[in-house]
Amino acid sequence: MEYRHLGKAGIKVSELSLGTWLTFGGKLDFASARECVKVAIEAGVNFFDSAEAYAGGVAESILGKIIKEYRREELVISTKIFWGGDAPNQTGLSRKHLIEGTKNSLKRLKMDYVDLLFCHRPDPETPISETVMAMDNIVRQGLAFYWGTSEWSAKEIEAAFKCADEYKLIPPTMEQPEYNMFNRKKLEQEYAPLYEKYGLGTTTFSPLASGILTGKYVDGIPKGSRLERVNWLRNEFEKCDMLTQEAMNKIKQLNELALEIGATLPQLALAWCLKNPHVSSVIIGASSVEQLKENLKATEVKEKITTELLQTINQIIK
């Protein structure tokens, strides 16, 4: 397992990390979640990601209970604030919700601090200056060590840095965007100026495109799968033509390429993400211990991805 700096920050995160969305408190019961964390740590994973919105806070509670079994200082724990409830001030990035939401997350996690704290989405109803000031306050209180954004535009991130510079506040350290073979533009193009200018780190999610890059959808949407259960996600994929026959043909070609190097399609997709030098950590999910063990082998497959292979992949996905 390689450990990478989070952009220009001193903290290091494992190149593969374990997320808790739809799994902790969802597909996984406590015993299975505990075993997944154990397997991940034994493989060298030191970074675990959650959010106040995951399973209504249950994911944080499960993760916190499991982490008590390990040395806290050896791990990097993150959570994200935006969707905390149905009341008017339980959603968004106001100073009130950010500070209260963070403290509530820490209670569920049973921790004094998180290492990384993300603004889970941009909030057009709150001035960016208010959000940056609140995050600065949270870090200075020691409730989090670093703060960042998730799925913000480059323009919004730039505004946050400018605000921090103007008011002498702590700027964001990292962004958590979606990144996979079928969703590349934001991380590779839109954020490109931010890496050198600000030293922005990234902890990317959905490396398998919510299961598209496992190959399980080439013959339709299986019953019980994520796209069968999550309507909004299926609708988004249909809008982006990710479930068309053309897309499935690309999946088949990528699967054949994976077999040629002795890997599975998910391992190839994960390793492809790891080859990007601007990716600090790739967050993976797991609905079973067996699936997690297989996907963790992507760190070995990474070494098999040559420049020529990357070119072949680009030709397939176009």
| Phi, psi angles (nearest 5°) of residue 9 | -70, 160
DSSP H or E segment with residue 144: strand 144-149
| Secondary structure of residue 152 in the 3-state scheme | coil
Q: What is the CA angle 145-150-155, rounded to 5?
A: 105
- Rounded CA-CA distance 16/184 in Å is 18
How is residue 91 written in tokens? 């959603």
- Rounded CA-CA distance 69/63 in Å is 11
Q: Catalytic site residue 198? A: no
Active-site hit among 3, 54, 113, 191: 54
Q: Which amino acid is at 301?
A: V
CB contact at 8 A, 50 and 66: no
- Rounded CA-CA distance 59/100 in Å is 18
| Phi, psi angles (nearest 5°) of residue 236 | -65, -45
Burial grade of 35 (CB within 10 A; 0-12, 13-18, 19 or more): middle
Contacts of 132 (CB under 8 A, 6+ apart): 160, 163, 164, 167, 169, 171
How is residue 260 written in tokens? 């040629």
Handedness of CA 288, 176, 4, 50 (dihedral sign): negative
Closest CA relative to residue 2, chosen from 18, 14, 19, 17:
14
How is residue 68 written in tokens? 């008590």
Gyration radius of the chain's alpha carbons: 19
How is residue 138 written in tokens? 């949270």
Residue numbers annotated as active site: 54
